[in-house]
Structure formats: C-alpha cells, structure tokens
Amino acid sequence: MKFLLDTNACIQAMRGHSQVVARLNSQAPDDCGVSMVSVFELFAGVERCREPERESAKVVAFLQPLHLLPFDWDSALRTAAIRWELEKAGKKIGPYDLQLAGQALALDVTLVSHNLREFQRVSGLKLEDWEA
C-alpha cells in the first residue's frame, strides 16, 4: 500500500472530483487504503443526511475495493508521540487528523488530503493533494 486517503479525499472522490477520481483510478488496487477513523467520519456524515440509506450505499460502494485499515497499536503509539511533539511546539490539529497522521507514519505511506495546512505541522509526514 502506498496511500492512505483522508476523509476529505474520500468525499471528493465520491462527489466525482475529476482530479481525485483520475488519481485514484490510476493507482493499482492494492495501493490505496482508508482508515477506520475515516470510515467513522464518513458514516457520521451519513447520519446527518436527509436520505441516510442512499448515502450509506454510496459510501459502502466507494469503500468496497479499498483496503480498510484498523487503527492499531503502532498507529496509536505514533499518534501519541505526534500529539506530544505538537503540544510542546504550541501547535495542535484535530483528533481525527492526528490519528490519520499517526497511522500514515506508522504504515510509512503517503497521506492524501486537501487539508495541507493542518497536516504540514506533522514532521516527517508524506502528503499529496490530489485536488491540486
């Protein structure tokens, strides 16, 4: 696996953002994964929709061909270390973004996100913005 898709990258792909879809389609099937942290965020969004059953089906269809990754021990330890480093520096990022950054570092993969401002605070994190 080469890429971990952030929640916003998943949303843009499901919305048909041409550049995100093109980049996703150009990857080998084993190259992209989605964290269960993002799965949670996606389904939390589904719950707020007017037609949750229809939206849920869209999310399931999108996720089906991708690697779904549990938030494991190594990811938790890396996330804790990042949180401490950011706190010492007087910087913070949201808890879900923190978990995704920790997981990407633990897996040694590139995080795909349009939210570069937050993620650029994390030292050593490989980032790509497929919307750019």
3-class DSSP assignment, residue 107: helix
3-class DSSP assignment, residue 111: strand
Q: Give CA–CA dist 103/56, Å, rounded.
A: 25
Q: Give CA–CA dist 127/132, Å, rounded.
A: 12
Say if residues 127 and 109 touch (Cβ distance below 8 Å). no
Q: What pLDDT score does 73 carry?
A: 98
CA proximity to 100, closest of 83, 12, 27: 83
Q: What pLDDT score does 29 carry?
A: 81
Q: Give CA–CA dist 52/58, Å, rounded.
A: 10
Q: What pLDDT score does 132 carry?
A: 87
Question: For the chain, which domains are there?
Answer: 3-128 (3.40.50.1010)
User: What would the pLDDT profile of 121-130 be if each residue is shown by its tens digit?
Assistant: 999 999 999 9
Structure tokens at 20: 């995100």
Say if residues 71 and 106 touch (Cβ distance below 8 Å). no
Angle subtended by helix axes 95-107 and 73-88, to nearest 10: 120
Q: What pLDDT score does 117 carry?
A: 92
Q: What are phi and psi of 128, to 5 degrees?
A: -140, 140
**pLDDT by residue, tens only, the chain of 132 residues:** 999 999 999 999 999 999 999 999 999 989 999 999 999 999 999 999 999 999 999 999 999 999 999 999 999 999 999 999 999 999 999 999 999 999 999 999 999 999 999 999 999 999 999 998
Q: What pLDDT score does 3 carry?
A: 99
In the chain, % of residues over pLDDT 90: 98
